[in-house]
Amino acid sequence: MDSLLDQKEIDGSLSEILRRLDEVLEVNLAQRTDLSGAAMIVRSDYPILALQELARNAVIHRTYDGTNAPVRLTWFDDRVEITNPGGPFGAVSIGNFGQPGATDYRNPILAAAAKDLGFMQRFGSGIPRARSALRRNGNPPPAFQAEAGFLNAIIRAVP
């Protein structure tokens, strides 16, 4: 069984949940220092932007109807997994989840509120921004598991 590094429960208003989620992400980031070259290089195991985008998406786009299941952010030795209740919605299907242009809004009021509060840049940009941040940091691309009842994002640490 994989080693679980941390577990927290977060509740409150949308702004409080997203702010506290950012705090949890930042506290759990490990940084590595490479002294082998001519210059010292400090790099995080994960870029904070990628974790924020994917975790915020989980909170905003989860299903709130018919379930009390929480969004789960699980930090392992080699990866972070973000799971939220509710599968793909509307124009987003199991087959096209995470692909460019595949966007829809299960909770458009929450999405608009998160944007107005400054937690989102623009609609439909979260997964592409996460992919770009992971690539720049040297991480593998995120893996997504989309099922009818849940979505799971797997973010692997820098090799």
pLDDT at 66: 85
Averaged pLDDT, 54-76: 90
pTM for the model:
0.87
pLDDT at 91: 86
Q: Residues 83-134: pLDDT tens digits?
A: 999 888 888 888 888 888 788 888 889 888 988 888 887 676 788 899 999 9
Q: Report which of 127, 118, 104 is spatially closest to residue 50, judged by C-alpha positions.
A: 127
Q: Residues 130-149: pLDDT tens digits?
A: 999 999 999 999 999 999 89
pLDDT reading at 6 higher than 70: no
3-state secondary structure the chain: CCCEEECCCCCCCHHHHHHHHHHHHHHHCCEEEECCCCCCEEEECCCHHHHHHHHHHHHHHCCCCCCCCCCEEEEECCEEEEEEECCCCCCCCCCCCCCCCCCCCCCHHHHHHHHHCCCCCCCCCHHHHHHHHHHHHCCCCCEEEECCCEEEEEEECCC
For the chain, the average pLDDT equals 87
